[in-house]
Structures are given as C-alpha cells and as structure tokens.
Amino acid sequence: MENCIFCKIAKGELPSYKIYEDDQFIALLDIHPISRGHILVIPKQHHRWVHDIASFGDYWEIARKSALASQKAMNAQWVQYFTHGLIPHAHIHVVPRYDSIEKGRVLPEKVLSFPKEEMEEIAEKIRKGF
Ligand SMILES: [Zn+2]
C-alpha cells in the first residue's frame, strides 16, 4: 500500500532495527518505544487488522518468540502484548516491562527515546536471543 510506513519498511525503503525476518513477518524495534526493547511484529504484506492475517497462529508465534527473546536479553520482569489499529497496517506490540506487575500501570505513559547506537545495541541483544 502506498504511503504506508510499515509497507515501506517491509520493502526496505525505510530503515529499521530488525530483530527477526522471514518470508511473511518482520519483528523490529518501535522507534517510539514505551519501554526499552519495545518490539513491533508486522506482516510483510499489507493487512489492515491483525485478524485479517490468514496465518494468525504463525503471526502470534513470532510475537511469542519476540517476547521470550526480549525478556531474556533485556532482563525484563514480564512482557506485555497489545494491538490497536492507529497505524493502518497490522502490528502487534511486544513490550518488555521492568516494573512490578502488581504495581505496574496497564501501559507506560511516556514515550522514550534512545540514541541510534543504543537502539542498534538493543536490537542486536534481542536478535541473538531469538
Ligand atoms: Zn502497509
């Protein structure tokens, strides 16, 4: 789809911090992370909603692997998943959490920013554990 940021990333027209890639899906770091190691899992083909993806189980398996890899690599307490449709290309958020699950907010409210070198380091760490 034209002017879709995730389609452009999938085609390699925009740079990204990739964690994982196969013929259908890509896991990458969110460039507007709400936690250190915040991952997005996207299909390479344009789909509006997560539930539009026929291989739904395979899709969530990549999210599961992303969660396990990020939890281990980033030493997270727990990992949160969520989806929404604010960007009109399906994506699953995988968010490593460092706060106590009992005391934690449903979602961290602050968008964080890490320098490019640190984003590359985080991606490399998680990639190794995938
Ligand atoms: Zn798209």
- Structural domain spans, the chain: 5-129
> What CATH number does the domain located at 5-129 have?
3.30.428.10
Could you tell me the distance, in angstroms and rounded to a whole number, from the CA of residue 98 to the centre of ligand 1? 31
List, in sequence order, the alpha helices (H) in 1-130: 5-10, 56-74, 116-129
Could you tell me the distance, in angstroms and rounded to a whole number, from the CA of residue 100 to the centre of ligand 1? 35
Could you tell me the distance, in angstroms and rounded to a whole number, from the CA of residue 4 to the centre of ligand 1? 5
Listed residue (75, 80, 69, 72) closest to 105, CA to CA: 80
38 in catalytic set = no
pLDDT (tens place) for every residue of the chain, 130 residues total: 889 999 999 999 999 999 999 999 999 999 999 999 999 999 999 999 999 999 999 999 999 999 999 999 999 999 999 999 899 999 999 999 998 888 777 888 899 999 999 999 999 999 999 9
What's this model's pTM, rounded to 2 decimal places? 0.95
